[in-house]
Amino acid sequence: MLCYFDLTFFAVMKLVEGNTSTELRKMAEIASWVIFVLSVVIPLFIMFVVCRRFEVMKIKQAKAAFNTVVLKLDK
């Protein structure tokens, strides 16, 4: 979780900076966009999967497969 927040924070800071004077800075900005988009898309995808499977969670055998995810969400 710490890596997730750090990567997202530094990606946003790079995008806010906006200095693309060299090739290396342009590549860093592209990497920042990729990190920022993935940090939004991946959690939304995980939420979609969990919400989609919520009806299945009522079955004990199916709940065992998602036990780790459920425990993380409960905390």
Pairwise CA distance, residues 14 & 29, whole Å = 6
Confidence of residue 70 (pLDDT cuts 50, 70, 90): low
| Confidence check: pLDDT of 7 > 80 | yes
Query: pLDDT tens, 15-65?
Result: 898 888 899 999 999 999 999 999 989 888 888 887 777 766 666 666 666
Domain count of the fold of the chain: 1
pTM score, two decimals? 0.61
Domain containing 61 equals 2-74
Confidence of residue 75 (pLDDT cuts 50, 70, 90): low
